[in-house]
Structure 1
Amino acid sequence: MAALLHLLSRFLLLFVVFTGGAAQFANPRLRDAYIALQFWKRTAIFSDPNNITGNWIGPGVCSYTGVFCARLPDSPNVTVVAGVDLNHADIAGYLPAKLGLLADLALLHLNSNRFCGTLPHTFGRLLRLHELDLSNNRFVGRFPFVVLRLPALRFLDLRFNDFEGPIPPALFRRPFDAIFLNDNRLRSGIPETLGASPVSVLVLANNLLGGCIPASIGGMAGTLNEIILLNDDLSGCIPPQIDLLRRATVFDVSFNDLQGPLPVSVSGIRSIEQLNVAHNRLTGRIPAGICQLPRLRNFTYSFNYFVGRPPACARRGAAKFDGRENCIVGLPKQRPPRQCTSPAAQSFDCSRSNCFVGGAITSPPPPSPRFNIRRRAPRPPSAPVGNMPRGNFRVPSPPPPPYETVPSSRIHPPPTPLKYHPTTPPPAATPPPPYNTIPPASPSTLFTSPPPPFIPWEAPPSSVPPPPPQLPPVFGVFYASPPPPAIP
């Protein structure tokens, strides 16, 4: 019976469009949008607890909740569907192939719903799509290569899903402004093409990438503002080419398995505000120039094996420096002597690292488990995302929410539906295609709040795992879509 009703619904939809109802559309583009949206509602949306699509009735698609229309830039007399914003609607379903009929979309925001499955190949027809936010859903499968075929796409947010497999090297050859892939199941290292990316913000945290930080990272010097590689199972050494990142304000490689010294070249990141290398196996002395960086406000190097720091690090006034659990004589809350003489505390020759082959740095396969001291256990199959459990860490979202520890299990009851407030967020760094009329936008906010204050605390015994990381806030970038909600 259900299958019969499904077929009947599709027949009635086609009957309305291709009979007298077709005359009610101002142009064929609006007719195609009607077909796509009606098909989505009738066949691919299983639950809409807030009744967001309740008024998706009739040919007036521009009046549908969450749907925004505008005039074509090159044809000002033609009105089209230019945006769909269903953020925080708690809708369950999937994305049908018919959405490829929305060929004029510039914005597609589906943040914090319960959409599942994979992205249809027909997304390749969305040639005007500028911002794609699918974060905090239940999408699965390999990285959606279809997004690499979208010529206008600049903002890509796929965080808090279950995408798996390698990051395609072609991703970093596309002209993106911002990429968020954190809290998925991505593996197989960071591609060597990293340095070709023009992004200003890159967040890959809380994946299972393994391998090394490519030396090509220096190629991002012209645009990179923030990079967060927290808890990615990275090994090897921090490449000295990071001194080229003179525009970077946030550099976070904490909770990995990095070894060797902190490069002296890090003193060349003149704009750095947040520097976090905590919870690795770094050795040697803190380079003198780091604590003299003019904009540095938060330097976290705790839970390593550093043996010394320059005097300038003790005279930084309001700057927050956290050097707990190292091997620095004279500082409080350092490691016990037996840990500072253990094999883990011995100096490491980066030239002998697997990242170096013939003088060049490469990204090897993920390290052996015996060296991977913080590898997370494989996560179970996906479950409701209401509490958004994704491993043991929460990742920064623009604007920066409070980052709380979330449970490791993904088995939870469905969340309480969130009250829906349709908004169209402010544009990303590069403006979308110039429609004459754009959806109403919420006020733009430039987030320049200071980092959270450092609160002294007693270090746990060495047998107790280190506390979960707290990422620095995201600074200085306009973001297109609000973050997933922080649900306790």
Structure 2
Amino acid sequence: MPSLASLQTTTMKTLPFLLPLLLIVSLIPSSFSRALSDSEFAFIARRQLLHLHQNDDLTDGYESNVKLNFTFENSGIRRAYIAFQAWKSAMYSDPFKTTQNWEGPKVCDYGGVFCAPSLKDPKLTVVAGIDLNHADIAGYLPVELGLLTDLALFHINSNRFCGIIPKSFSKLTLLHELDVSNNRFVGPFPKVVVSIPSLKYLDLRFNNFEGELPSELFQKNLDALFLNNNRFASYIPETLGSSPASVIVVANNKLSGCIPNSIGKMYNTLNEIVFQNNNLAGCLPMEIGMLGNVTVLDIASNNFNGVLAKTFKGLGKIEELDVSNNMLAGFMSDDVCRLPGLKNFTFSYNYFNGEAESCLALKGKDIVIDDIGNCIPDRPKQKSPSECQPVVNRPVECSKSKCGGPKPNPPSTPKPIDDDPYDQSPVNRQRPPLPPPVVKPPVHSPPPPVYSPPPPPPVYSPPPPVLSPPPPIVRSPPPPVPSPPPPLVHSPPPPVPSPPPPTPERKVNLPPTIGFKYSSPPPPMFPGYS
């Protein structure tokens, strides 16, 4: 066995400091580690980032400085040997002995390693894939992995790798699939993955990444993007609509702000999108109705308000639609309930105050519709009137909203009300809003003169001009203090008070069908890397 002193110099510098921390983290039960407080997590993350040197990268000609006694089939296999030996030195626990045979120059025989003819020269054999899924290996990723320049697939999900994704991954120019899900990686979003030119599948879910999502991420030519169950906390970039991905899942993070209007640009490519359990708010953009190829749309457990735009009837292929646990209101229309492909529609725990008869008629006919926890008259398990009244009788005007609504038209071309995608005028409803509490006005307080000419002014007040509005009510006569204002006003309604959070627990788990066709596929046979 040759000496690896030169090979392991870089990794062994950090290993003595890292091992105690890794040992502590590995002993924490998985269920407990998910419940770490923010301060505990921040402490662990800082320790990892401190000892793993975030800025480390491969120097030019790195492998030429490593002295080895073996003879290798080609230079690519030699570089792979250097990378695997450095990686094995960065592992301190391998309970299933997956890497036990990582010895000697025949790297294509190593456990979890797959070789194929080189794309540059089919006569040469190179390492094209790594699959260590579910091996429960503890350790970290050394910079030497950047030597695997022929790699097309890198799957290490369901292990205990921690630290960061090395900058050297930018050298993996042929990498097609990167799956590091269900590990213990930390730090900001690993921007190095944005620089990998051939990447199509990126899976970072179930880690402890944090901070902002880079706008460049959604401009990358990805087909599937899984970011759920991390600690990302930022707005969703406006570049979301530039993504060609068919599946995007950002559930169970700390994202805030609105869904960008640019989402409508994804109508040709998007099949599944999941925003579940974040801190997103505002009105839902009417451009969602342009997503005619979407089969799964999940915005549950956020703080969305307003109504569902009439454009939602454009979701012609939708199968799973979940808008539950928000502050949505208005009338659930026939257009939504009768979407042709709909199999499961959940709009529970909102403030909807009516639903079309079709929504009720479709229940039990190969479709699941859940409407509990709303404000719908004559339906079981609804909110109380005291919970509903502040929201139902003061609707949000999404057409004027800066978040989710369309840009207002110039004053010279007023928008007809029939063209407002958020309009739910009474002619489009089968049930009226909840009536306000009945309060009898005091006898001495006359009703306000809405449609009749104003009463003659007092002698000391000159008559108003014919074309002028009547004097303010407060001047003639003064209303009594206990008299409430009229329930229906023409001025913009005051802000909707935030109701208490929904009764159900906000911690949710994604359905197993979400992204089912991307559930960490087995490594391909690599003929031509296809």
**TM-score of the two chains, using structure 2 as the length reference:** 0.67
> What is the aligned partner in structure 1 of residue 349 from structure 2?
303
Q: How does 1:29-178 map to 2 (within 5 A)?
A: 29-42=76-89, 44-178=90-224
> Is the Cα contact below 8 Å between 1:95 and 1:120 reproduced in 2?
yes
Which residue matches 1:260? 306
Q: Do the aligned partners of 1:257 and 1:373 also contact (CA within 8 Å) in 2?
A: no
Question: Secondary structure in 1 aligned to 2:259?
Answer: coil
Structure 1 residue 320 corresponds to structure 2 residue 318: no
Greater percentage in helix = 2
- 1:85-484 to 2 correspondences below 5 Å: 85-316=131-362, 317-343=365-391, 346-355=394-403, 359=407, 392-396=507-511, 425=522, 435-436=527-528
- 1:18 pairs, out of 67, 84, 93, with 67
Partner deviation per Cα, 1:254-309 (whole Å, 9 max, x = no partner): 10000001111111100000110000001110122111111101110000111111
Residue identity matched to 1:337: P
Percentage identity across aligned positions? Answer: 48
Match of 1:459 in 2: none
The amino acid of 2:97's aligned partner reads N
**Using a 3 Å threshold, how does the CA distance of structure 1 residues 15 and 233 change in structure 2: closer, same or farther?**
closer
Deviations 1:420-457 (A, max 9, x none): xxx96166xxxx9x74478xxxxxxxxxxxxxxxxxxx
C-alpha distance in 1 between matches for 2:107 and 2:225: 31
**Runs of 5+ consecutive residues of structure 2 not aligned to the other structure:** 12-62, 409-494
Displacement of 1:74: 3.3
Q: Are the counterparts in 1 of residues 286 and 405 from structure 2 also a CA contact under 8 Å?
A: no
Q: 8 Å contact 1:251–1:276 — kept in the other structure?
A: yes
Aligned partners of 1:336, 1:372: CA distance in 2, in Å? 12
Aligned partner of residue 235 in structure 1, secondary structure: strand
> Is the alpha carbon distance of 1:357 and 1:241 closer, same or farther for their aligned partners in structure 2, counting shifts above 3 Å?
closer
Change (3 A) 1:426 1:102: closer
Change (3 A) 1:291 1:358: closer
Distance in 2 between the 1:374 and 1:169 partners? 31
User: In the aligned structure 1, how far is the partner of 2:146 from the partner of 2:120?
Assistant: 21
- Output the TM-score relative to the length of structure 1: 0.73
- How has the CA–CA distance of structure 1 residues 396 and 134 changed in structure 2, closer, same or farther, with 3 Å as cutoff? farther
Measure, in 1, the Cα distance between the counterparts of 2:206 and 2:155. 14
CA distance in structure 1 between the partners assigned to 2:141 and 2:279 by the alignment: 32
Letter in 1 for 2:369: F
Aligned length: 383
User: Where do 5+ consecutive residues of structure 1 fail to align?
Assistant: 361-367, 376-390, 402-422, 439-488
Distance in 2, matches of 1:182 and 1:143, equals 12
Looking at structure 1, the residues matched to 347 and 81 of structure 2 have their Cα atoms a distance apart, in angstroms, of 55
Once residues 386 and 354 of structure 2 are traced to their aligned partners in structure 1, the CA distance between those partners, rounded to angstroms, is 17
Contact 2:250 2:274 in 1 (8 A): yes
Task: Tell me the SS of whatever aligns to 2:216.
Answer: helix
Q: 1:331 to 1:19 in 2, by over 3 A?
A: closer
Does the Cα contact within 8 Å between 2:282 and 2:404 map onto a contact in 1? no
SS in 1 for 2:334: coil
* Distance in 1 of aligned mates of 2:78 and 2:369: 59
Q: Which residue of 2 aligns with 1:378?
A: none
Q: Distance in 2 between matches of 1:20 and 1:332?
A: 77
For 1:36, the aligned partner's letter is A
Matches of 2:498 and 2:510 in 1, distance apart?
A: 24
Which residue of structure 1 aligns with residue 434 of structure 2? none
1:353: Cα distance to partner? Answer: 3.2
The residue matched to 2:256 in structure 1 has which SS? Answer: coil
> In the aligned structure 2, how far is the partner of 1:153 from the partner of 1:211?
28
User: What is the identity, as a one-letter code, of the residue corresponding to 1:271?
Assistant: K
Per-residue deviation, 1:400 = 7.2
Q: Show CA shifts across 1:310-350 (max 9, x none).
A: 11112222211000011111211111121121347631112
Alignment CA distance shift 1:37-1:372 (3 Å): farther
Q: Distance in 2 between matches of 1:250 and 1:353?
A: 26
